[in-house]
Amino acid sequence: MNHTFDVDHVVLDIEGTTSATGFVVDELYPYSRKRFGRLLAERAEEPAVRRAMTQIRELLAEPGADAVRIERALGAWLDEDRKVTPLKTLQGIVWSEGFASGELVSHFYPDVVPRLREWHAAGVRLHVYSSGSVAAQQAWFGHSPEGDLRALAERFYDTENAGPKLVAMSYETIADDLGAESERVLFLSDRPGELDAARAAGWRTAGVRRPGEPYYGSGVGDHPEVASFAELRIGTGAGAAGAGTVPGARTGAGPDIGDEEVRRAGARLAAEAARFASFGWMRGTSGNLSAVLDRDPLRLAVTASGRDKGELTADDVVLVDGAGTAVAGTAVGAGKPSAEAGLHARVVRLTGAGAVVHVHTVAAVAMARRRPGGIVFGDLEMLKGLGLPAEGATVRLPVIANSQDMAVLGDRLEAAREPRMPAVVVAGHGLYVWGADLLQARHHAEVVQWLLELELAAGRA
């Protein structure tokens, strides 16, 4: 459901909101755990490290706790996912160095960065408030898969400079620091307790509820709820309802999309399809591609069914709605969309993607036969193309059973989806990949296919 907010400031939570908690827990936590011992042993006299160690001794009520005891406490807090300030401080130091060295690359959901750029361009001031330290937040935004995003975020807040996230006073502190009227600040988080605290401080709130995240089952209470940033309309003053559009995708009520706009999208899709066909990934008339043209209501341009994907023209495209059904009066003689258009729409609603690619590659089908439970990749430089670090990271490409019923197939995809992997293999069928736009979807498809070909060549069972 779409929600419109007329505000001057947007304050962002990170884990579960802009980015996958699983990435932090599965990739960053082990990274810091391996490095805490050396940090405490070799750099105990650095001011930030010394202060954190003092705070840990106070929390433990053990004034004489040595580095070994402190490291053991840090490990226990990691296991419990405790939001403890000195833990976050030391993690921030380790992570910042990992990002700076190139060992780490952060993660953002595909619907996030396009929206942040548009809100920023529209004059909305963006800030971050996370339980992770300010140093970790800045490193996260500075080393994203899409480059340095720190220019988008004006100020960073954590539990040390603002206070605990479940306490209303912390949000009052932030509003005072911003010099903002409380009702002109919007807070985005996946955690209902944080949303309650922000609202108690007079802020506007919206809960971001993403499948697979820890707080998904808790809901967001009576706060406005969105599944992705694509459902948010944010701006200042009278233009708020139209603010935050994704490039090439309109939002808000308005005139129906006309043939000419569909044809322009068709030209872009035809060019991408020709590229994939040249790889041999869309043989015969197989495969299809889509691009979002409108979010409210959802409208996608989808390649027409039964056409040779290497010979598509700008007219070989159909406009479909959120169910994958052709929109009357907007097709340009292309015929009907594939039945799989409904799955494209489901992926867009689920992930916030701006484009979806479906290709039939031998590697995808062959590897699904070998690994019906999913295909795991790790310690590969090519993983950077998916926003993952090249070392110490593993990610699973789900494999789901095929079905001719798109509702059933969509349910299987939603249940199996790995938030850090923008793709899924349909057994005996092919590969679905998505991204913020057609370019990113293509890059993701090429990276995933490379990974599949490597596993196939390795001959591992």
- pLDDT tens per residue, the chain (461 residues)? 689 999 999 999 999 999 999 888 888 889 999 999 999 999 999 998 999 999 999 999 999 999 999 999 999 999 888 878 899 899 889 988 888 888 888 999 989 998 998 898 888 999 999 988 888 899 899 888 888 898 899 999 999 899 999 999 999 999 999 999 999 999 999 999 999 999 999 999 999 999 889 999 999 999 999 999 989 999 765 343 333 333 334 433 334 677 788 888 889 999 999 999 999 999 988 999 999 988 778 889 999 888 899 898 888 899 998 888 888 655 455 567 888 999 999 998 888 888 999 999 999 999 999 999 999 998 888 888 887 777 777 889 999 999 998 989 999 998 898 878 999 999 999 999 998 888 889 999 999 999 999 999 987 65
Q: 24-100, which class in CATH?
A: mainly alpha
CATH of 3-19+106-242, one of 3.40.50.720, 3.20.20.70, 3.30.565.10, 3.40.50.1000: 3.40.50.1000
Do the strands 394-397 and 423-426 form a parallel or antiparallel pair, or are they unpaired? unpaired
Domain borders along the chain are: 3-19+106-242, 24-100, 259-458
230 vs 346: CA distance, rounded Å? 14
Per DSSP (E only), the strands in 98-173 are 125-129, 153-157
Element (H, E) at 294: strand 288-295
Do the strands 185-189 and 430-435 form a parallel or antiparallel pair, or are they unpaired? unpaired
Residue type, 29: Y
CATH of 259-458, one of 3.90.170.10, 3.40.225.10, 3.40.50.620, 3.50.50.60: 3.40.225.10
235 vs 92: CA distance, rounded Å? 32
- At residue 330, the pLDDT reads 53
pTM across the whole model: 0.54
**DSSP code for 246:** B
Residue 129 and residue 198 in contact, taking contact as beta carbons nearer than 8 Å: no
